Chain A
Amino acid sequence: MAASPAYGEEKGGSSSLGEPEYGHDPASGGIFASDYKRHDDLKEMLDSNKDSLKLEAMKRIVAMIARGKNASDLFPAVVKNVACKNIEVKKLVYVYLVRYAEEQQDLALLSISTFQRGLKDPNQLIRASALRVLSSIRVPIIVPIMMLAIKEAASDMSPYVRKTAAHAIPKLYSLDSDQKDQLIEVIEKLLADKTTLVAGSVVMAFEEVCPERIDLIHKNYRKLCNLLIDVEEWGQVVIINMLTRYARTQFLSPNQNESLLEESAEKAFYGSEEEDTKDAKAEAASLAKRKPYVMDPDHRLLLRNTKPLLQSRNAAVVMAVAQLYFHLAPKAEVGVIAKALVRLLRSHSEVQYVVLQNVATMSIKRRGMFEPYLKSFYIRSTDPTQIKILKLEVLTNLANETNISTILREFQTYIRSMDKDFVAATIQAIGRCATNIGKVRDTCLNGLVQLLSNRDELVVAESVVVIKKLLQMQPAQHSEIIKHMAKLTDNIQVPMARASILWLIGEYCEHVPKIAPDVLRKMAKSFTNEEDIVKLQVINLAAKLYLTNSKQSKLLTQYVLNLAKYDQNYDIRDRARFIRQLIVPTEKSGALNKYAKKLFLAQKPAPILESSFKDRDHFQLGSLSHLLNAKAVGYQELPDWPDEAPDPSVRNVEVPEWTKCTSREKRKEKVEKPFYSDSEGESGPTESADSEPESDSEESGSSSSSGTSSSSSEEEEEEEEEEEEEGSGQQSEDKEGEEEEEKRKKRKEKGGPRKASPRSMVTPPPPQPVPSSNIISTSLVTDLEGLTLTDTSLAPALLSPAFGAVRTYELLHRMAGEGLSVEYCFSRRPFPGDPHMVAVQIQISNNTDAEVKSLRVSEPKLLAGMRIQEFPEIESLAPGDTASVVMGIDFCDSTQAANFQLCTHTRHFYVSIQPPVGELMAPVFMSENEFRKEQGKLTGMSEITEKLTLPEKCRSDHAIVQQVTSAANVGRVPCGADNEYRFAAKTVTSGSLVLITLEWREGAAAQLTVNSEKMVIGTMLVKDIIQALAQ
């Protein structure tokens, strides 16, 4: 530690008290006694009752820790302050505690009770931080306490605390691995969590504790895929890596069909890659037995949901998606990742380094992918050498017959670089290009031969080595070059190069029978002046010539060996003695003599010039193991694709009713505690995230709090997509009816508690109870009929023509509501009290066996501008009874949910109503001329046009009008043209016009135009209508 007088002086302003002692460093020669004194001073400060002194002392202690100095003797003094009121002192004490608890286990126990108290705090952030510190104290005695705390926190109502619990799991596991089984239970529970906050952390815990328990993922697979985009970046990386492994065990290889084609294509391309074709052959053989490949819809889901993350700003996320695509996607789709990876090359050099390593591996297997980006791998003189060499590797991998001339021209520039390591690597690269692409072999060889006259030893040596390798492949054709190189011995002074040339001549002396002895003659002349390495090769050459052409070279060899016998270097003397014994037959020479020729002139295998990145892809790309090309500790092998797909139904999620209930029960107990008294840290979004299970459905990230019209439109899109997905997943079933059905259910899920992940529709949930009541309106009857899960779609006759199809949405499911179930629909009648409000009809049924009293709305949480007109309090609702009330909500022309609480005399439920965009308007009646006039005003940005195709059953006037009016609360406008339908409405709050024109062209083609100055509403409406018409 040279920089000892550092901190104290430099620190300046903030530490004006007791400065001098602090600067001393015990290690750098402070006397031990004074060291003690200093700590006494700190102790005194810590014992004082002034927070500022304590803070100062803690700051200094932390600074000591930061520099790696021992401050452990202060432990008792510090630990006393763990309950200090000052939050910064407290935090710094935590830092200290976590650092030294391991060394002072007994004393550390003193602090535990403080944290246990913290775990019970009403504020979620304090609970979380208590758990965080408690779990970071590495004292084995408290393992049971930690276990308990983790278990409790795992069912905490705050997702943030649950996240902290997930973080604590690996900490406890590393402290005591015997707890594994219990921890797996906790992990299992947390994996079922539906919030984005928890997802990343729990998967991280899963990876550290029980990565082999892939079965835990099944039920959560679809949820994780759907949540992925909203998880924080670091969590995304962990989840994607885990899902890659998961997918490898559960799905079939998407490329098995293509391997047949691949085989022939690749053979033609580069015959050298035999292994590849062998693989392909084996695969093809097994393929014959297989059925044609159809991608599992879950496999597709993963690929589709990860793709947008290629656009992440976080390089690690992009890399994770890239490796996922590389390992899992069909060959045709892998290409999408190239662009994103090339983008990362603009990033920091460390990022470049890692990305290039992975690109190098990928480019061997999937060369076509990066070919369009060839120029992005061109090297700049300012790149660090390690980056240059990696880029060179990629360029070499990308070289093929079409681009080789460009690449070679580029290489020519590199060869003149000042960076000699890089030049050497370039020469190697040229060598590899020459081996791979026969066409340019001669050009490359000539180029390399020219390099032999380079002044730089390294360049020449490298060239000679590469030439040597190239020649070894086809020595017969290149005796010219060997001759040329023989001539070079006169000029080249670089020992390494001379030695290489001599070796080459010796090895192929039969191809140059006349020159070889001459070279030996020259070398014998200059033998004494040569470097050792050259002398050795001269002896070698002599020996080989003696064996092949003893007539001409016998004397020369004797001469050389004699010279060597008296050489200063014992290696050379040794070698000479050895060779003489071996080749020159004497009486004493042993049996080996006969084999001398075989020994020296054995057929030597040509060195294979191949990428060092070949076959690295058996490691999961992007992993540390891949980078190091060695298995790192804790690396999970990427399994091979299974031959037979495991049962896909394991991923279906059944309605986990009983588990839900119990966990909810637990939460409820907490709610009843004085939870609302703490107003300090609880923010709106959290509460809604906790206690409003419906809002953290699969889109929770965007839906529950962010609160904008567009986010909900996004949601809508997502939903649409899911629907498509489902459609394709189960083609065999009656599609139309099914979809209708699903839609209904989905709506309900949105409004009500989540019952199952959206893709779980394969297993039908239990039928809904039909509340026995006589007040149900006709529209409700139709809806409930739709809910009974029959395959028949709704009969059009039942739809009330005035309102179109009125859909019912679930506000509170009877499970979540403890027997109270609430549904709502948009009655499309003007709300009596206020024309700016949308009327919402609410249907409350009491399925409990007790009376529910004083039902009312309270604590609405609304975005700015939104208003709510509560329905009059319902005094009491007898068991089995149903009540219908109307409330008004001013949504401010946005599809934001209105969140409020529904209270009974004992309980309150968080609920939210989210209007479809079509319900935010009321029909207006206007003439054709008026319509034209208004439409003329709303062009440009306010006009949204979309083309669509009408399905068979929507090609009648009646059906079109029916579908449009069911999708939106609009009125029809008379129209002269035959194939045109017009509708008009005004938004409820601001009264902006919404004009809809549907033009039906020949056949199924149609064009939908919406004019509205509210662009967002317009766009969403177009989507909704198209969706309605497509059904």
Chain B
Amino acid sequence: MIHSLFLINCSGDIFLEKHWKSVVSQSVCDYFFEAQEKAVDVENVPPVISTPHHYLISIYRDKIFFVSVIQTEVPPLFVIEFLHRVADTFQDYFGECSETAIKDNVVIVYELLEEMLDNGFPLATESNILKELIKPPTILRSVVNSITGSSNVGDTLPTGQLSNIPWRRAGVKYTNNEAYFDVIEEIDAIIDKSGSTVFAEIQGVIDSCIKLSGMPDLFLSFMNPRLLDDVSFHPCIRFKRWESERVLSFIPPDGNFRLISYRVSSQNLVAIPVYVKHLISFKENSSSGRFDVTIGPKQNMGKTVEGVVMTVHMPKAVLNMNLTATQGSYTFDPVTKVLTWDVGKITPQKLPNLKGIVNLQSGAPKPEENPSLNIQFKIQQLAISGLKVNRLDMYGEKYKPFKGVKYITKAGKFQVRT
């Protein structure tokens, strides 16, 4: 399946290569560079490239291209999903998935890659198993290792790999037994010029941090499970129970993981928590334009909208912007033409406003399109869909865990067309 993997940074250096079958020369990456050159933007490099003898399937994550070499038919998503899993693992191990982190830990990276694939077929991809096999580096451990010469390779054999619940290792022990659930909902929306909603939906995830000893068996039930229209599960969840009773029943992995992701049924009208008033215009035959944007809170259920940030990709003809913000600060990058306005918290008494003059390149034609505004925001302690966790029960263990649920609503892909 997966023959080789090359990691390439943005400047086109191949800084790591790994082969699971016979060696494939680096020169195969030339086809990739060619495609990269053709695609102006990194995002537009086609994920699948066909070359005379191989196929290249690549992903772009954290300024690194993961380019895998394939020789025979394989579902492309299989490879893409796996590569993302590799990147996730690096992230998990080193805290970031960057070129420096990978270079600093090149041996661990290599050992991980060795364990994750056997002959190009995924072998161990669960982070719990991998961590048993290869311990993640910590400062303390690297100091100890350099003194004692001991290693990051686990000396116990990973029994998790053999069990039927590969996501959980055996013999977990904590002094404080805790289970935290973050219900995070994102509003994806497209708002049109006049302020009416073209498209809006709520996507949510429940991220969990479970630190429980032994083999706890958890039951999580919702007050209103019918809200969830489409759900995808972590493999630990018993599907049948969900089908029949709409409860989540699972033996959790140890540590942080994503329990479910869901979409709220589209019949429900989505309450959009902010509104945007905008006036952006470019005058014909003059090198300036006006820019005036106000953001205000809408139905927000008594909660404050915070962390509001607006980013706008201005047209190429824009040279500079002279604006005044009544709240927060703005920056305009004249190279990428990106305007960022960091608003912060919205108080209904005084609505934040950003207003001023746009300077255009003289002589350039007036931009035809007004840029669309991308808004980010956050509302604490609110799940906008109204989803509520009813209760969490634990079976199989005797102790009483500490349980916590947190709700957050965020803007997902929230775009206002102007």
Residues of chain A whose beta carbon lies under 8 Å from any beta carbon of chain B: 1-3, 6-7, 10-14, 16, 50-52, 55, 59, 62-63, 65-68, 86-88, 91-92, 94-95, 99, 102, 123-126, 132, 135-136, 138, 158-160, 164, 167-168, 170-171, 174, 196-197, 201, 204, 208, 229-230, 232-234, 237, 241, 308, 311-316, 318-320, 339-340, 342-343, 346, 348-351, 353-355, 372, 375-376, 378, 380-382, 384-386, 410, 413, 416-418, 454-455, 622-625, 627-628, 630, 632-636, 680-681, 683, 685-686, 689, 700-702, 704-711, 713-714, 717-718, 863-864, 1016, 1019
Contact = CB atoms under 8 A, between A and B. Distances in A.
B235 A313 contact: yes
A62 B368 contact: no
Contact of B157 (A634, A681, A1019): A681
Contacts of A138: 21-22
Given A88-B153, A416-B369, A707-B396, A632 B165 contact: no
A316 B75 contact: yes
B315 A339 contact: no
B229 interface: yes
Contacts of A208: 72
Given A234-B121, A315-B80, A339 B232 contact: no
B315 A418 contact: yes
B119 A350 contact: no
Nearest to B221: A941
Contact of A381 (B158, B203, B243, B313): B313
Nearest to A358: B77
A2 B170 CA distance: 47
B81 A315 contact: yes
A382 B374 contact: yes
Contacts of A681: 156-157, 159
Interface stretch (B106-114, B324-332, B350-358): B106-114
Interface in B148-174: 148-149, 151-153, 155-159, 161-166, 170
Contacts of A50: 149
A710 B237 CA distance: 11
A6 B106 CA distance: 12
A125 B365 contact: no
Contacts of B21: 138, 171, 174
Interface in B37-56: 39, 41, 43-44, 46-48, 50, 55
Interface stretch (B244-252, B298-306, B341-349, B380-388): B244-252
A7 B368 contact: no
A241 B106 contact: no
Nearest to A634: B72
**Chain A interface main SS type:** helix
A6 B238 contact: no
B23 interface: yes
A680 B415 CA distance: 57
Contacts of A633: 71-73
A340 B261 CA distance: 12
Contact of B238 (A10, A376, A418, A714): A714
Given A311-B233, A378-B199, A633-B72, A160 B395 contact: no
Contact of A319 (B74, B75, B234): B75
B143 interface: yes
Contacts of B396: 707-708, 863-864
B18 interface: yes
B84 A3 contact: no
Quick one: which of A55, A126, A413, A418 has the most chain B CB within 10 A? A418
Given A99-B23, A132-B118, A348-B80, A339 B229 contact: yes
Quick one: which of B114, B158, B231 has the most chain A CB within 10 A? B114
Given A354-B77, A633-B71, A230 B110 contact: no
A380 B413 contact: yes
Interface stretch (B9-17, B271-279, B288-296, B403-411): B9-17
Contacts of A136: 118-119
Nearest to B372: A381
Quick one: which of B81, B235, B367 has the most chain A CB within 10 A? B81
A87 B151 contact: yes
Contacts of A355: 77
B208 interface: no
B77 A315 contact: yes
B125 A234 contact: yes
A66 B4 CA distance: 12
Nearest to A204: B121
B199 A99 contact: no
B77 A418 contact: no
Contacts of B75: 237, 241, 316, 319-320, 622-624
A624 B80 contact: no
A20 to B, nearest CB: 17
B100 interface: yes
Given A11-B103, A66-B16, A340-B232, 4 more contacts: A1-B13, A167-B121, A375-B199, A416-B368
Contacts of B164: 196, 230, 685, 689, 700-702, 704-706
A714 B143 CA distance: 48
Contacts of B263: 343
Given A12-B104, A348-B59, A706-B251, A308 B261 contact: no
B165 A380 contact: no
Contacts of B258: 313
B284 to A, nearest CB: 12
B239 A311 contact: yes
Interface in B386-418: 395-398, 413, 415, 417
Contacts of B125: 233-234
A343 B232 contact: yes
Contacts of B59: 348, 350
A318 to B, nearest CB: 8
Interface string B109-153: 111001000110111010000000000000000110110110111
A314 B83 CA distance: 12
A125 B157 contact: yes
Interface in B41-97: 41, 43-44, 46-48, 50, 55, 58-61, 70-78, 80-82, 84
B26 interface: yes
Nearest to B148: A52
Nearest to A355: B77
A229 B106 CA distance: 36
B151 A714 contact: no
Contacts of A382: 313, 374, 413, 415
B316 interface: yes
Nearest to B165: A706
A883 B353 CA distance: 89
Contacts of B192: 413
Contact of B368 (A86, A455, A635): A455
A99 B19 contact: yes
Nearest to A406: B198
Contacts of A3: 13, 15
A3 B16 CA distance: 12
Nearest to B368: A416
B43 A67 contact: no
Contacts of A634: 71-73
Contacts of A160: 161-162
A13 B80 contact: no
B206 interface: no
B152 to A, nearest CB: 7
Contacts of A714: 238, 240-241
12 contacts: A313-B233, A316-B78, A382-B374, A628-B48, A628-B55, A633-B71, A635-B72, A635-B73, A683-B159, A701-B164, A706-B164, A864-B398
Contacts of B30: none
B145 A14 contact: yes
Given A14-B142, A167-B118, A349-B43, A308 B73 contact: no
B369 A313 contact: no
A372 B114 CA distance: 44
B14 A68 contact: yes
Contacts of A10: 100, 103-104
A1016 B46 CA distance: 51
